[in-house]
Amino acid sequence: MGLRDWSIRKKLILSNIMMIVIPVVLILIIIGGTVFGLLMIMLPENQANMLFKVDGTVSTYQLQLAFDSMCEKISGKDKEDGNDLTALTNALEKLGASIAVTGGELPYLTDGVTVDEIETEAREIAGATDLENQPLFLRNDRGLVYLMPVTNQTGEKIRLLVVSSEMDFEESSSYAIWDNWDKIKLIIKISAAVVAGIAVVIVVLTGLVLAGKLYKTMIYPIKSIRDGAREIRDGVLDHPVEVYSKDELGEVCDDFEEMRIRLKESVELQQRYESSRKELIAGISHDLSTPLTSIKGYAGGLLDGVANTPEKQKHYLRTIYDTACDMEGLVDNLFLFSKLDMGKMDFQMESIPIKAYLTDFCAEAGLKIQGRSVEIQLDNQLKDKKFVSIDQTQFGRVLWNLLENSLKYAEEKNVKITITLAEEAEKVVLRFEDNGPGVEQEALEKIFDSFYRTDPARSSLKKGSGLGLSVAREIIEGFSGRIYAEASKLGGLAIVIVLPIAED
């Protein structure tokens, strides 16, 4: 799992840690290098000799420690034992050093010499006409000079001067630790400014790099969501929302893409329903106007006396009655579809033997189609008596709808209808097939959609309103069954109804 797949919380924590750790590590490295460089500047290579023995008893390093301890006691920082200062001066005087402490509460001068004599000797060893009042630690072949101005806790100026021309050093070398103090302070200030500038640059660069990484994993998904929202706002639903990661923003992108797909499907479904609704309204308007025109014409003929014989009058009245019955059937079909579509249909379920029911249906259908070139055959392949739970009235509506479809699309040729009963996987399977013109393969799944017609040119309800098979599907699914279409072995269309077997 890559960085872009981490959660936003982990990314922010990592970013904050790196914003602190990286600059701190780099700054410490720079400071360490700077300090090391300063030490190299302040301490020449021959200063390592400070650790060498001076006379077999005292080393230069020990002298430095003694001088530092004297400065602390003179300034008053170390008040633990005042006798230590006397012990240090005695030890240095035994080595041949002359000491002068001027100013403050603890003035000191080596016996037998004056301050001027010590100053003169120090200038001779240092090779200078005047000693500046600044720190100096000098050792050469002429002797040793240590000069340190000190300020005590009360603000008094104290001057410590140690001079020795009698100390015998193993190697003769000249060096001064504090003779360029102003230059050293300048170097420190410049170094501090450089380190601060580099630190700022490091922090800025680190922030930019981490921001660039986070931009790719956080800003891009937000931009993708923003662009997707604008396209949806503008009605463009064909462009997918790109997903750049698997973090929280990636999940939002996934959800947004799912919303876009569902919205697109909803819009397409709404467009299909709208188109079908318009077609239905157009078809209903046409099929209502046609019978109304017929009723109006025949009623006018009766009123105007065109039907001047009892036979004509009876024919006119019969036509008006049949047309009104057709209109009533159309209205009933629309009302039934509306109830089924809203789920407000109450089925009167009964457990009935399916073979006996279909036998009665075939007998009744045979009477209605008597005199027409229609053959209806029932093929029972059930091995024993099977029951199904159905609403007899609504199931009969389904079968009559299938029969009427077969007859309407037969186009006056010899019609052969076969109803086959079989059992598959503890289900009763009913196949209603004919030898009519059939339906194209790509339209088989669509014929059960509301308002769908295989031939859009048929706007008359005489060839179907597009509701019959939709009503049939709603009814069969209300029986916990399913219905689908396939090509018939007779050359036409086969409607297959699958119902669960019920208890007797």
pLDDT band at residue 399, thresholds of 50, 70 and 90?
very high
Same domain, 96 and 187: no
Same domain, 155 and 113: yes
Phi then psi for residue 503, to 5 deg, are -75, 155
- Residue 32 placed within a domain: yes
Q: Which region among 291-295, 329-333, 449-453 has the lowest average model confidence (pLDDT)?
A: 449-453
pLDDT at 459: 43
**If DSSP codes are grouped into helix, strand and coil, which group holds residue 309?**
coil
pLDDT band at residue 421, thresholds of 50, 70 and 90?
very high
Average pLDDT on 78-102 reads 77
Same domain, 355 and 467: yes
Average pLDDT on 468-493 reads 88
Same domain, 255 and 356: no
Same domain, 99 and 204: no
Same domain, 372 and 496: yes
- Residue 76 placed within a domain: yes
Q: Is 15 exposed, middle or buried (0-12, 13-18, 19+ CB in 10 A)?
A: middle
**Residue 369 Cα distances to 209, 253, 372, 376, 488, angstroms:** 86, 61, 6, 10, 22
pLDDT at 498: 95
Same domain, 38 and 185: yes
Task: Judge if pTM exceeds 0.85.
Answer: no
pLDDT of 44 higher than 70: no
Same domain, 13 and 120: no
Last residue of a domain, one of 327, 344, 361: 344
CATH number, domain at 109? 3.30.450
Last residue of a domain, one of 228, 254, 270: 228
Please name which of 445, 351, 341, 331 lies closest in space to residue 391, comparing C-alpha atoms. 351
Q: What is the pLDDT of residues 272-303, one digit of tens each?
A: 778 767 776 776 776 677 778 888 888 988 88
pLDDT at 7: 64
Q: What is the pLDDT of residues 126-162, one digit of tens each?
A: 888 777 778 888 888 888 888 988 888 888 888 889 9
- Residue 446 placed within a domain: yes
Q: Which region among 70-79, 124-133, 452-461 has the lowest average model confidence (pLDDT)?
A: 452-461
pLDDT at 81: 55
Same domain, 497 and 363: yes
- Residue 492 placed within a domain: yes
In angstroms, the CA 150 to CA 312 distance is 145
Q: What is the pLDDT of residues 162-205, one digit of tens each?
A: 998 876 544 433 334 444 456 666 777 787 788 788 878 887 88
pLDDT band at residue 227, thresholds of 50, 70 and 90?
confident
In angstroms, the CA 185 to CA 187 distance is 5
Same domain, 461 and 351: yes
Last residue of a domain, one of 169, 187, 209: 169
In angstroms, the CA 504 to CA 500 distance is 13
- Residue 314 placed within a domain: no
Distance of CA 288 to the CA centre of its chain: 56
pLDDT of 493 higher than 60: yes
In angstroms, the CA 433 to CA 368 distance is 19
**Residue 371 Cα distances to 361, 376, 401, 405, 415, angstroms:** 18, 13, 20, 18, 12
Question: What are the helix (H) ranges across 305-350?
Answer: 310-341
- Residue 1 placed within a domain: no
Same domain, 29 and 125: no
Tokens of 128: 């200078």
- Residue 3 placed within a domain: no
**Residue type present at position 62:** Q
Q: Which domain holds residue 156?
A: 58-169
- Residue 466 placed within a domain: yes
Number of domains into which the chain is organized: 4
In angstroms, the CA 426 to CA 386 distance is 10
pLDDT at 464: 53
- Quick check: 469 and 403 in contact, CB under 8 A? no
Same domain, 96 and 30: no
Token pair 């040119």 in the structure block, residue? 457
CATH number, domain at 431? 3.30.565.10
